[in-house]
Amino acid sequence: MVEKVCNKMESTEIISFLPYQKPFLFVDEITEISENGVVGNYRFKKNEYFYEGHFKENPITPGVILTETMAQIGVVCLGIFLAKDEISSKRNLQIALTSSQMDFFLPVFPDEKVSVISEKQYFRFNKLKCQVKMLNEKNELVCRGSISGMIIAK
């Protein structure tokens, strides 16, 4: 379980190391982080680029974007925290998602805030595997699964 509450400065620093930028940054805040996992959130804005065509007159967040949000918060942010000594002097990160398996239960609509909870399964040889889940503001399960990835600082 995640134990350590993350303060605003720590959250901002971790997010600053992410190799993403708008419109493909899906992390607003990290609220908890420890050696065992991370909790973070993101609010899907009404004007996100993917809502224009997914779906006509009934915008729903694509599953691939939900998976990406869970990967950014649940694997990349946690990986940055776990490898902070190696990463702290370097800003050029390479990220490789090596596998994901997701089950989807509820849609996410524009202007919805989601929380991602990730628990580390293992971290070795710069490969991180996590069990992740996404909850909506009503604390309902949106999706869950496992994501693995590699983080390399250059």
- Please list the active-site residues: 54
Amino acid at 93: L
Q: How many CB atoms lie within 10 A of CB 85?
A: 8
Q: What is the largest CA-CA distance in the chain?
A: 47
* Pure H helices in 4-148: 8-16, 63-71, 78-82, 84-87
* Contact (CB, 8 A) for 73 and 25: no
* Contact (CB, 8 A) for 27 and 39: no
